[in-house]
C-alpha cells in the first residue's frame, strides 16, 4: 500500500497546477473569441470598402461616357463612322471590365447604369443616322452634344443616385 506522504508532493503540484491550467484555458478561449470578433469586424469593414470602390468605379465609368468627355477622345482626322466605332468599342470594353461591380451595387442603380450606357450608344447611332452623308466629324460631335443636352442629363442623375447610396455605406 502506498504511503500518503509519498503522494503528497504530487497532490501539492496538482493543487497548484489545476487553477493555473483553468486560468490559462480561460485566457486562450477569450483570446480566440476576441480575435474572431476582430476578424469579423475587419471582414465587414473590407466588404464596405469593396462596395465603396464599386461605387467609385461606376461613377468614373459614367463620367467617362458623358458626351462632353467622349467627343474629345481619339484623333480628329477620323471619319465619323470610325469615330463611332471606336467610341462604341471603348464604352463596351470599359463596361465589360466593370461589370463585376454589379455584385456590390443596388439592383436599381445597376439598371440605371446599364440604361445610361445604352442610351449613350443609341444617341450616338441616332445622331449618325440623322446626319447627312457628307457631314464632318466636328458636325457629328456638335449635334451629338446638342442632342444629349436637349434630352436631359440622365448620366448626372445616375451619378447622383450612386453618390447617395455610397454615403449610406459610411
pLDDT tens, position by position, 83-123: 899 999 999 999 999 999 888 889 999 999 999 999 999 99
**pLDDT in the model for residue 15:** 86
Phi, psi at 74, each rounded to 5°? 70, 175
CA distances from 89 to 10, 84, 138 (A): 82, 8, 20
In a domain, 142, yes or no: yes
**pLDDT in the model for residue 61:** 94
In a domain, 155, yes or no: yes
* Domain count within the chain: 1
**pLDDT in the model for residue 40:** 78
Cβ–Cβ < 8 Å for 122, 72:
no
In a domain, 73, yes or no: yes
Task: Look up the domain containing 152 and give its range.
Answer: 48-169
In a domain, 30, yes or no: no
Residues 8 and 161: their CA atoms lie apart, in Å, by 77
Closest CA to 117 of 164, 72, 158: 158
Q: How many other CB atoms are there within 10 angstroms of residue 158's CB atom?
A: 22
What is the residue-level pLDDT of the chain in tens, covering all 170 positions?
Answer: 567 778 788 888 888 888 888 888 998 998 899 888 888 777 666 556 788 889 999 999 999 999 888 888 877 788 888 889 999 999 999 999 999 988 888 999 999 999 999 999 999 999 988 887 788 888 888 888 898 888 778 889 999 999 998 888 76
**pLDDT in the model for residue 139:** 86
**pLDDT in the model for residue 76:** 79
**pLDDT in the model for residue 94:** 93
In a domain, 126, yes or no: yes
In a domain, 15, yes or no: no
Residues 33 and 13: their CA atoms lie apart, in Å, by 30
Residues 95 and 79: their CA atoms lie apart, in Å, by 24
In a domain, 43, yes or no: no
Residues 136 and 129: their CA atoms lie apart, in Å, by 13
Question: What's the DSSP call for residue 99?
Answer: G
- CA 93 vs. chain centroid, Å, equals 17
The pTM of this model reads: 0.69
In a domain, 127, yes or no: yes
Amino acid at each position: 500500500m502506498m504511503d500518503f506522504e509519498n503522494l503528497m508532493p504530487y497532490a501539492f503540484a496538482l493543487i497548484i497546477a489545476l487553477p493555473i491550467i483553468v486560468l490559462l484555458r480561460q485566457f486562450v478561449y477569450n483570446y480566440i473569441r476576441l480575435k474572431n470578433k476582430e476578424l469579423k469586424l475587419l471582414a465587414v469593414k473590407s466588404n464596405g470598402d469593396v462596395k465603396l470602390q464599386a461605387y467609385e468605379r461606376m461613377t468614373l465609368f459614367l463620367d467617362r461616357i458623358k458626351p462632353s468627355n467622349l467627343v474629345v477622345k481619339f484623333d480628329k482626322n477620323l471619319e465619323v463612322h470610325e469615330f463611332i466605332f471606336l467610341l462604341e468599342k471603348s464604352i463596351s470594353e470599359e463596361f465589360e471590365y466593370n461589370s463585376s461591380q454589379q455584385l456590390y451595387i443596388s439592383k436599381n442603380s445597376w439598371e440605371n447604369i446599364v440604361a445610361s450606357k445604352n442610351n449613350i450608344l443609341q444617341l450616338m447611332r441616332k445622331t449618325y443616322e440623322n446626319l447627312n452623308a457628307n457631314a464632318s466629324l466636328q458636325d457629328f460631335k456638335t449635334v451629338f452634344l446638342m442632342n444629349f443636352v436637349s434630352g436631359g442629363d440622365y448620366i448626372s442623375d445616375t451619378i447622383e443616385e450612386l453618390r447617395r447610396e455610397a454615403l449610406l455605406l459610411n
